[in-house]
């Protein structure tokens, strides 16, 4: 069954008909311009609208429905839904499906901004849990079982738990035990598995959320599974959340003009992962192991896996974390040097580290170029940076819920005068898009100092209304 690609086959068959089109899209599959000349005219010919033989994403009964079921089977889920708005729409749908306004939901404080936006849309009340921290690397890890238990004792009326599996840096929590504890209390477990698309397809990877019994997960197949950017999948196990509610929430968050290019890329990526994944990831893991060995021989360079703390439950080997502290370089500086001098694009940077994503498109030639670049950097770069320790950033006090803060009246004041005020906006470094500050949290001096440091490092800071990053929006009135 997994050799089939029903949606892709239907699109190819439709393409052969050379139908006369009086529907959208307006290019009518033939209009040519410099875009079609550059990318190839077949992309324009395959960019089509929903119709009977191609099915309809928001009410699938034919080939999309069949492709959904194949995807669900591949990930050990009861149900799958293609997403063309990225995993963001999946995370929003999960939270809105599990929580009514006012319901409490546990979230690790290092969630992606899409989860915070889901709180605004749903009206759910966050119960933030600080993740474990690796002091050596200055990165957030997973959520411990003990912190989940503590939160449930303190707040027994919590409705749902939201877990990241894996984190951006590859940290994996004891998801199986967390699911067991939460289900014993009839709580819903939602999983952001944006970076775990590859998990089901090799025995050396951690188990994926749906196979462990999570209620819902959202997976970015495009990140590590080989589909086109913006194509993702939402998974559902039926027991605690009704399928009808999920469909209703999806119709709130997802376009009715779904791209068949994105959807068929999901259909084909699934087939490739199931039928060839073991071989593909065997080769990839061998390359990664060799790469780490060579990298760890470079003075001043350390790969994450060799130094991660015992606070880590499990780790995703496809996350290539590289600590540059021994070179005297910040991660931001190393990121810029690699891009500007060596034409190498890393996934992200932070105060101490750079991160690369290993996936099915990698070649050893790419790894060798990165090794050679880092060897030359180790020989030539000596920084004198006063690095800010990640752990010095204290947890922020949540004063107003993200939803209430979002709809509150705000005013802009100089960032330097904002200590003790309640933020009216979220601030994050992108990538990864994890908020340093969430609207409704109280602003601290440490946070302001860190923002100034990020400005000096020329990090890409998003979320602030003032693009000069000199002013910040705070709540007016009693909470200011």
Phi, psi of 427, deg, nearest 5? -130, 135
Pick from 407, 468, 475, 409: nearest CA to 437 = 475
With tokens 């006090």, the residue in question is 397
Residue 443 CB contacts under 8 Å (≥ 6 apart), including other chains: 396, 418, 419, 420, 421, 422, 423, 437, 472, 474
The residues that bridge with 370 in the sheet, in sequence order, are none
pLDDT band at 248 (very low <50, low <70, confident <90, very high): very high
Distance CA 71, CA 271 (A): 9
Here the tokens at position 10 are 């239907």
With tokens 């996350």, the residue in question is 319
Domain(s) labelled CATH 3.90.1150.10 in the chain stretch across 277-380
Residues 218, 98 contacting (CB under 8 angstroms): no
Q: Class of 277-380 per CATH? A: alpha beta
Distance CA 21, CA 14 (A): 12
Average pLDDT value for residue range 1-30: 87
Residue 72 CB contacts under 8 Å (≥ 6 apart), including other chains: 78, 79, 80, 235
Phi, psi of 245, deg, nearest 5? -65, -40
Q: What are the tens digits of pLDDT across the range 326-370?
A: 888 889 999 999 999 999 999 999 888 999 999 999 999 999 999
Q: What's the burial of 311, exposed, middle or buried (CB within 10 Å: 0-12/13-18/19+)? A: middle
Q: Which of 11-25, 61-75, 415-429 has the highest mean pLDDT?
A: 61-75
pLDDT band at 304 (very low <50, low <70, confident <90, very high): confident
Flag whether pLDDT at 76 surpasses 70. Answer: yes
Domain(s) labelled CATH 3.90.100.10 in the chain stretch across 393-479
The residues that bridge with 429 in the sheet, in sequence order, are 434, 461
Q: Class of 393-479 per CATH? A: alpha beta
Residues 233, 83 contacting (CB under 8 angstroms): yes
Q: What's the burial of 359, exposed, middle or buried (CB within 10 Å: 0-12/13-18/19+)? A: middle
Residues 325, 382 contacting (CB under 8 angstroms): no
Residues 423, 405 contacting (CB under 8 angstroms): yes
Here the tokens at position 85 are 């708005």
pLDDT band at 246 (very low <50, low <70, confident <90, very high): very high
Here the tokens at position 46 are 């395959």
**CATH fit for domain 6-274, picks 3.40.50.150, 2.30.30.230, 3.40.640.10, 3.20.20.140:** 3.40.640.10
Q: What three-state secondary structure class fits 139?
A: strand
Q: What are the tens digits of pLDDT across the range 169-222?
A: 999 999 999 999 999 999 999 999 999 999 999 999 999 999 999 999 999 999
Tell me the C-alpha to C-alpha distance, in Å, between residue 434 and each of 202, 334, 427: 28, 20, 9
User: What's the chain's average pLDDT?
Assistant: 91
Q: Can you say whether the dihedral through the CA atoms of 124, 99, 82, 19 is positive or negative?
A: negative
Average pLDDT value for residue range 30-55: 87
Considering only residues 480 and 26, tell me which one the structure prediction assigns the higher pLDDT. Answer: 26
């Amino acid at each position: 069954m997994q050799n089939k690609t029903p949606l892709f086959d239907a699109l190819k068959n439709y393409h052969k008909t050379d139908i006369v089109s009086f529907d959208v899209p307006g290019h009518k599959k033939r209009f040519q311009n410099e875009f079609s000349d550059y990318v190839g005219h077949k992309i324009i010919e395959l960019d089509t609208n929903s119709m009977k033989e191609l099915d309809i994403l928001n009410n699938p009964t034919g080939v999309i429905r069949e492709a959904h079921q194949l995807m669900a089977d591949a990930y050990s889920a009861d149900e799958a839904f293609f997403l063309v708005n990225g995993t963001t729409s999946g995370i929003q749908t999960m939270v809105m499906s599990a929580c009514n306004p006012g319901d409490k939901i546990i979230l690790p404080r290092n969630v992606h901004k899409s989860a915070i936006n889901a709180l605004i849309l749903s009206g759910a009340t966050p119960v933030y849990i600080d993740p474990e921290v690796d002091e050596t690397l200055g990165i957030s890890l997973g959520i411990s079982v003990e912190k989940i238990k503590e939160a449930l004792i303190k707040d027994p009326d919590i409705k749902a738990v939201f877990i990241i599996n894996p984190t951006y840096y590859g940290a994996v929590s004891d998801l199986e035990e967390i699911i067991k504890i939460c289900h014993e209390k009839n709580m819903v477990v939602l999983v952001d598995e944006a970076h775990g698309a590859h998990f089901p397809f090799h025995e050396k990877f951690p188990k994926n959320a749906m196979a462990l019994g999570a209620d819902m997960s959202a997976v970015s197949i495009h990140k590590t599974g080989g589909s086109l950017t913006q194509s993702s999948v939402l998974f559902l196990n039926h027991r605690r959340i009704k399928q009808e509610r999920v469909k209703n929430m999806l119709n709130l968050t997802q376009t009715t003009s779904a791209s068949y290019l994105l959807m068929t890329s999901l259909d084909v990526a699934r087939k490739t992962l199931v039928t060839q994944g073991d071989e593909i990831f065997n080769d990839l893991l061998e390359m990664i192991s060799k790469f780490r060995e060579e990298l760890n021989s470079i003075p001043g360079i350390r790969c994450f896996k060799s130094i991660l703390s015992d606070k880590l439950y499990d780790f995703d080997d496809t996350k290539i974390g590289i600590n540059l502290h021994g070179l005297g370089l910040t991660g931001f500086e190393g990121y810029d040097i690699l891009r500007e001098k060596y034409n190498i694009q890393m996934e992200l940077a932070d105060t101490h580290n750079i991160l690369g994503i290993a996936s099915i498109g990698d070649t050893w030639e790419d790894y060798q170029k990165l090794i050679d670049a880092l060897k030359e950097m180790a020989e030539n770069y000596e920084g004198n940076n006063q690095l800010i320790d990640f752990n010095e950033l204290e947890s922020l006090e949540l004063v107003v819920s993200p939803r209430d803060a979002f709809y509150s009246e705000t005013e802009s004041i100089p960032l330097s005068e904002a200590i003790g005020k309640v933020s009216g906006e979220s601030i994050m470094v992108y990538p990864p898009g994890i908020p340093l500050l969430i609207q409704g949290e109280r602003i601290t001096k440490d946070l302001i100092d860190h923002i100034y440091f990020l400005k000096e490092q020329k990090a890409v800071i998003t979320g602030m209304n003032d693009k000069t990053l000199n002013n910040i929006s705070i709540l007016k009135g009693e909470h200011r």
